[in-house]
Every structure is written in structure tokens, then in C-alpha cells.
Amino acid sequence: MKVRTRFAPSPTGYMHIGNLRSGLYAYLFARANGGKFLLRIEDTDQERFVEGATELIYRTLKDVGMNWDEGPDIGGDYGPYVQSERKSTYLPYAEQLIESGHAYRCFCTKEDLEERRAAAAARGETFKYDKHCMHLSKEEIQAKLDAGVPYVIRQNVPTEGTTSFTDLVFGTITVNNSDLDDNVLIKADGMPTYNFANVIDDHLMEISHVMRGMEYLASTPKYNLLYQAFGWEIPYYIHMTPIMRDAQHKLSKRDGDASYADFVDKGYLKEALINYVALLGWNPGDDREIFTLDELCRVFSVEGMSKSPAIFDVEKLTWMNAQYIMALSPEDFTAHAQKYYDMAGIGHMDKAILCKILQQRTRVFNEIPDMVDFLAKLDEDYSIELFTNKKSKTDAEVSRNVLDMVIPVLEALPEWTETAIHDTLINMAAEKGMKNGTMLWPVRIAMAGKAVTPGGAIEIALLLGREESLRRLKLGREKLA
């Protein structure tokens, strides 16, 4: 079977996580089955169109490696791939449905509909269009057309019987036709609605598997009625469960939930994001959690898709991101971290040492400025209580004695190198019969002004340099005097 999937986002803003997952699953399914992956821009909702959003879609997909086989920018045999450029395609199909009795022109005004909607609400009923205009005579319809009365074209949904469809995840679903509304197919401005355009486009582009969010599950019977009205083959359906912020709330960009770009800006790696998003509603069948995109393309299957909503756990994403950061080469870690070094005011410091002390501690790159703030500026109001540490057997008096010994010796060092600083401090501790921790704790506290730091006394001294290290050591001694 020839597999063709599509990702059809609307250019209405940033790429949110749910939308990214829809595209990812369609991409993975196509690649896993040796098929084609299409990109189609569904911009029929012109009121919500956001300038630059289409380019953002391109950029995001390319950034994560989801390259499409056909689309607006690269063309293909089934274009154009932007719905607004296909406007002339849809009306003839809608008129064909009118001729066959599967659709009709509706001249009701917005005011008419609002009045009926309010009346239904007052009765405690859900509003459903009452097919008022379907009963107009040919003469009445022609008179309105001649007078230029605006109209939409509605689907004529049967009022009796049932409609069934089969979803590859949820199985066969049957609904009563009496529960379905007469969808608008063509709006008054001549643009198709999503509900109509996606059916026409999916057929004309020979889409074999329609993968989309579960919010479209309830509309699928109406889509099938359209396929049947045209006598077209119905594609396979694969609906994805929602991604939840918590047990009660869906993840939603309208509610301010983070988009793909937001996470990238915070310092999450794109590889970790794609890996995590792939696991939101799909399971490989074992305990494995870390996958490259190529590996996902090989192992993804519909059988692993869940029927239950997925919870977006930022802590789990952060854990996964940390695994990816730890696996980076020193050069790649530094390349990602550089802008955060610059933000923290330490961009000039030794990159090899920064990588050594930070890479295994960094979960998300935007944590770096807070982790290294003491390197850029010492908080000189730190408490001398920090010098007291039971494990290192230090207190204010021990710390003062250590700093008295250390300062003149470090001042006299001919070279400010890791070996020279290390050997000087460790040998001094041995000569004085001290534990290494007893010697190093006061030195680190004096230079950092905080109890928890990435890196120890020697790395901090190297990063600060001789002059600043000695200035801070002397300030510490003065605090303890």
C-alpha cells in the first residue's frame, strides 16, 4: 500500500507542543512505512492568520529534522499546497454536492442564527441548524441570488440512521446522524471551511492515512458522509489523544502553555524535545526512553499509540534534556552554553574549565547564569557562618587560620596554573596535618561567597584569575578577623 501522510498546520502563531506532535507522528508513520510526508498550509481562517507564522512552521520543522517530500516551498505533483491558493478548487465540488442533494445554499444572516441559538439555549437545548434554507424553492433561491443576498453552502446531513467509521487506534465508532449538525462547507466570502477543504485536499492529494488530534473525532462522521457523497475512497484515520497540562486541563497555547520556541529559548535541546514529544502518546513497547529521530523513524508504529491522554511533565522533559546535555561533546556543550556565559558576564573565562564543572550539572542551559553568578560578581555580604562546615571540620577560627596560611603562598606562586594551585594547597594541608576538605572549604567559600557551587576551590581560582582570587581571599580573611 502506498502510504501518504500530511501535516496541515494553520499559520496562527507559534508551533505549540500538541501541533508539533501531530506533525511528528505523521512524519514518523510515513518514514516507518516507506511513504511520503506532505506539508500543507491550511490558511482558510484568515481572521486568525498571523504574519510570519508560515515561515515559522517551515523553520521549526527543518530545525528538528522533519523534512517534507512535498509542500509549498518545494512543490510536488499535487499542489498548490496552501489552501488559500486553492480557493477556486472547492466551489465546484460544493456545487456538485448541491446538485446531488448533499448540500444546499443557506441565506440566514448572523442575526437570524444568533436569535435561534439564544432560543435554543433558553430551552436548555444545544443549537443545531434547522435546515430552514434547504426548504426554499428554486424560485426563491434564484431570487436571492439575483438580488445578491450573501449565502453559505451547508452540508445536508441525514437526520435518520447512523454513520460509522474505523480508527486505527480506537476501533469502530458509530454515531446517530440526528446528533450531527449541517456544517458550513463554503463561507460567504467564498473560502472553504476547514471541515470541507481538508476532505477535498486529502482526496486530491491521495492522502492514505489522516493523522490528527482527537478533537476532530466527533467531526469524522460528517467527513465520511462527504466522501460517500462523492463516491471517494475513505482514508485510514489515526486520532491522537490530547496532551494534558494536568489531569483536568489540556495543554493549550491559548492558555499560555509553552511552545516549541519557548522551550528552545530556555535552553532545551531540540533533540531532547523531539524525543520527549514522541513519547507523549506512544510507547515503544519496552523501557527504552532515549531515541534519535532516525531511530524513531524505524520503530514508530500505530500499535504503540495510546488511547489515554498524555501528561506533559516538564520535570521529565528536563531530566531527558540533562541526558542529552551530558552526552554532548565539550565543543558542542560550549557552543550551546556560550550565550548563557555571555548573559552571566563570564564569556571571557576558560571554556574548558567551565565545561568541566558545568556540563554534568546542567539540566537546561538557562540554569547556567544562576549557577555561575558568583564568578561574575561576589556577593560581599555573605555570612561568615558559611565557613562553618561539620564535614570539613571548619569553623570561623579554622577558616581564618587557613586563609592566613594560604594567601601569602598563593601570592608567591610563579604560575597561576591548575597544577601549581592544586599542589600548593594539597601539600600545605599534608604538612599541617589537615584533611584536604579542611584546607579547601574556606578557600572556596571566600572566593565564591556561597556554600554550593559548580566546581571546587581550584577550578574557581583558575576561572577568577590570580588578582580577583586573592582579592576575594583577603576580603574573606577580613570578615573573619
40 vs 79: CA distance, rounded Å: 9
Contact assessment for residue 305 and residue 240, using Cβ atoms and an 8 Å cutoff: yes
- In DSSP notation, 195-245 reads HHHHHHHHHHTT-SEEEEEGGGTTTHHHHHHHHHHHTPPPPEEEEEPPEES
- Residue corresponding to grid cell 441525514: 158
- Residue corresponding to grid cell 451547508: 154
Nearest partner of 22 among 37, 32, 35, judged by Cα: 37
Nearest partner of 95 among 224, 188, 186, 195, judged by Cα: 186
N-term to C-term CA, the chain: 83
Nearest partner of 363 among 431, 316, 306, judged by Cα: 316
Active site residue 270: no
Phi/psi at 9 (5° precision): -75, 155
94 vs 88: CA distance, rounded Å: 11
417 vs 465: CA distance, rounded Å: 9
- Enter the C-alpha cell of residue 245: 497540562
Tell me the pairing of strands 36-39 and 4-7: parallel
DSSP 454: S
The alpha carbon torsion through 308, 309, 312, 316 (nearest 10 deg) reads 0
Radius of gyration (Cα) for the chain, nearest Å?
A: 32
Q: What does each C-alpha distance from 278 to 4, 119, 176, 304 come to in angstroms? A: 20, 45, 34, 11
349 vs 418: CA distance, rounded Å: 14
Question: Cis peptide before 11, with omega less than 30 degrees from 0?
Answer: no
Contact assessment for residue 438 and residue 394, using Cβ atoms and an 8 Å cutoff: yes
- Catalytic residue selected from 144, 187, 250, 253: 253
Query: Where is 103: in which H helix or E strand?
Result: strand 103-106
Catalytic residues: 253
